[in-house]
A and B are shown apart, each in its own frame.
Chain A
Amino acid sequence: MYKIVCKKELNPSVTYMEIEAPFVARKAKAGQFIIFRIDEKGERVPLTIAGYDREKGTVSIIFQKVGLSTEMLGQMNEGDYIQDFVGPLGKPTEVEGIKRVCVVGGGVGCAIAYPSAKAFKEAGAEVDVIVGFRNKDIVILEDEFRAASDNLYLMTDDGSYGEAGFVTVKLQQLLESGRQYDEVLAIGPIPMMKFVSKTTEPFGVKTVVSLNPIMVDGTGMCGGCRVTVGGEVKFACVDGPDFDGHQVDYAELMNRNGVYREREAETKQSHICRMDKLGKELIK
């Protein structure tokens, strides 16, 4: 069992938690992920590591309450325990040898972009960060990004905060203005990663994306997370989750990620019942 030692609501649908998991904390690196399971009936859910404290033995996660398991996790509080917390899984983001990097984060993907930006900064790189949100109300980690970057460009779709427009608009401007990058790292919704890759392609800038396919075990055993990269089948859990953004088959990934969407809608009712039950148990 793994204890929740800290919980903060970052915006109405995004939650930050620190979990006591000393073994994971010892090894965790930016770009890697964990798999959690709420309880004995729970599914195994992968989440990218948002941070870690090796001395305290904690690992932080940031998640959007979108499905049953993240909703249930969001209902839990400091002092509660979750059943399983496995990691660190996957390969860390490669920061060695990168001198100038642009980290692009979209929405809750910023949670994952942040530790990578920090890792680049700590490795001595010059770091530009472009983060995008739908509107002012859901902006997260602004101060953290400011500390982890040389230039922070904050974008909102509706212009209610920072500059108006998508992250790709800003990226295009920067590249056109002659800004040179050894690498662009994009983390966020699949369409955003796809369009960031499209934006950088004409400029010939190496682009890395962090993929989030459906997974079960996270150790290479099930193959559920297979993605096609450059025409080859790769398992995101052991070969990734970072891949060459110019080579990823995004349409296939989008399709595969929707495999249980209809089922999720159908069974929502029973999920709500379970959440109520869990909520009552927690209140006790």
Chain B
Amino acid sequence: MANMTLTKTPMPEQDPNVRNHNFKEVALGYTPEMAMEEAKRCLNCKKPKCVEGCPVNIRIPEFISKVAEGDFQAAYEIITDTNALPALSGRVCPQESQCESKCVRGVKGEPVAIGRLERFVADWYRENVNTMPEKPESNGIQVAVVGSGPAGLTCAAQLAKKGYEVSIFEALHTAGGVLVYGIPEFRLPKAIVANEVKKLEAQGVKVMTDMVIGKVLSIDELFEMGFKAIFVGSGAGLPMFMHIPGEALKGVYSANEYLTRVNLMKAYEEPSDTPIIVSKSVAIVGGGNVAMDAARCAKRLGAENVYVVYRRGEAEMPARLEEQHHAKEEGIIFMTLTNPTEILGGEDGRVNGMKCIKMELGEPDASGRRRPIPVEGSEFVLDVDTVIMSLGTSPNPLIRSTTPGLETNKKGCLVVNEEHMTTRDQVYAGGDAVTGAATVILAMGAGKEAAAAIDKALQNK
């Protein structure tokens, strides 16, 4: 008997005024009972639209019906047949614009909580089973994966499953890419990422950290070493700044730097050697998910006032609604239709304020969003001691500048065909290196499709 409740079964969360002082995970996940109850809201549509909305086409109604039966093991197997990293996507996917946006239950009421169920199944498996996969029989063909973020991990997992000898080259000292340096612990515990990496290693994937491809080895040298195909998932790259006065003051960070210090280098933990400024009032400039992450980290590090300063309106904010909601609950103040014009500093060279101007929305621009226009005479100074620029990134030049024949577009992103192959034979790419800053699941989708294309190409040789 279907559960016809109009709303999703709520997922327990840490209280906002408790969690904004710790780095533990915000959402606590469903209990088996909650999961089974929510699963019963799925109508098991004959033509499931949700599957079309999923970049990796998880057989959603099929796994949900197993959850409803309480057969979580079977549910896990269905999910992982098409999605290598469900504990991650269950947490960080924008389900509201993907699978859940297509759910028929969403027509009247809330859609089925597909993301929460995916997360539940993945967590249940990790906590109760967590058998390490076995190393499949090797086909002896070596493939290199550059970068161990969501694109690289997914590509490596798919290829390893098929018997390829996969080596991942990671520039940083820990595997996981943006999953470890960018997304904070309270949204995605690092132990979960580490567990996924461990599973890959059990399948025979070699993970080599401290390897900056483009510097220590070039793409051509990887081929000389015997790799038959290379997947480049090197991520988004260099943080952008506004080029306004004062951006070089002490106390101005890029979101990348701030998040890396907090997440990868664990600046929030007592024994970490990596320093971070302890702020009283922080302005985060930008309105994306990264801005929300930076704001919520700043709050947790003890800042009394945390402002998200965004030049467009709240409706135009690119951050997920859930992230915006969580941030507001935690006491982050949103200052929309506001744009910084100058960062002010004292004699000590530290930030002591940020000059802003109010904006209003004009006609739609090239992005389809209404263009923000400054309101004359509306300047004011925001009292802050730290400014975090979260304006997006431009692609990293290290690989393209050392790989002859590798074409990039105007923005510097790698150009690929529909098979995810770059302009160099047997060099594939996916994720932010191709799309510019996008989502984890799109990168995972690209990694998966590229793995299929690599397999096809190598099997035809």
Q: Which of A43, A219, A263 contacts B171 (CB 8 A)?
A: A219
Q: Which of B181, B212, B248, B250 contacts A226 (CB 8 A)?
A: B248
Known interface pairs A43-B265, A220-B397; A84-B215 also in contact (CB < 8 Å):
no
**CA–CA, A138 and B247, complex, Å:** 38
Q: Which of A27, A68, A216, A223 contacts B215 (CB 8 A)?
A: A27
B212 touches A233 (CB 8 A): no
Q: Which of A37, A41, A87, A226 contacts B241 (CB 8 A)?
A: A226
Most chain-A CB neighbours within 10 Å: which of B271, B274, B398? B274
List A contacts of B458 (CB < 8 A).
none
Interface of B is mostly: loop
Considering only CB atoms and an 8 Å cut-off, how many residues of chain A contact the other chain?
46
The segment out of A121-129, A145-153, A194-202, A250-258 that lies at the interface is A250-258
Chain A residue at minimum C-beta to C-beta distance from B243: A233
Task: Judge whether B261 is part of the interface by a CB distance below 8 angstroms.
Answer: yes
List B contacts of A222 (CB < 8 A).
239, 254, 256-257, 260
Q: Which of B216, B217, B250 contacts A255 (CB 8 A)?
A: B250
Q: Kindly supply a per-residue 1/0 record for chain B positions 367-404, scoring 1 wherever the CB is within 8 Å of any chain A CB and 0 otherwise.
A: 00000000000000000000000000000111000000
Minimum CB–CB distance from B148 to chain A (whole Å) comes to: 13
Task: Judge whether A170 is part of the interface by a CB distance below 8 angstroms.
Answer: no
Task: Judge whether B173 is part of the interface by a CB distance below 8 angstroms.
Answer: yes
B271 touches A41 (CB 8 A): yes
**CA–CA, A43 and B271, complex, Å:** 11
Known interface pairs A84-B210, A219-B212; A224-B257 also in contact (CB < 8 Å):
yes
Task: Judge whether A238 is part of the interface by a CB distance below 8 angstroms.
Answer: yes
**CA–CA, A256 and B265, complex, Å:** 20
Minimum CB–CB distance from A140 to chain B (whole Å) comes to: 27
B257 touches A216 (CB 8 A): yes
Q: Kindly supply a per-residue 1/0 record for chain B positions 253-278, scoring 1 wherever the CB is within 8 Å of any chain A CB and 0 otherwise.
A: 11011001100011000111111011
List A contacts of B256 (CB < 8 A).
221-223
List A contacts of B261 (CB < 8 A).
216
List B contacts of A243 (CB < 8 A).
none
Task: Judge whether B349 is part of the interface by a CB distance below 8 angstroms.
Answer: yes
In addition to A233-B248, A255-B349, 15 A-B residue pairs with Cβ atoms within 8 Å of each other are A41-B266, A41-B271, A68-B273, A85-B210, A87-B216, A219-B172, A219-B212, A220-B398, A221-B237, A221-B256, A224-B253, A238-B397, A238-B398, A256-B248, A259-B277
B: residues with CB less than 8 A from A are 171-173, 181, 209-212, 215-217, 235, 237-239, 241, 243, 247-251, 253-254, 256-257, 260-261, 265-266, 270-275, 277-278, 349, 396-398
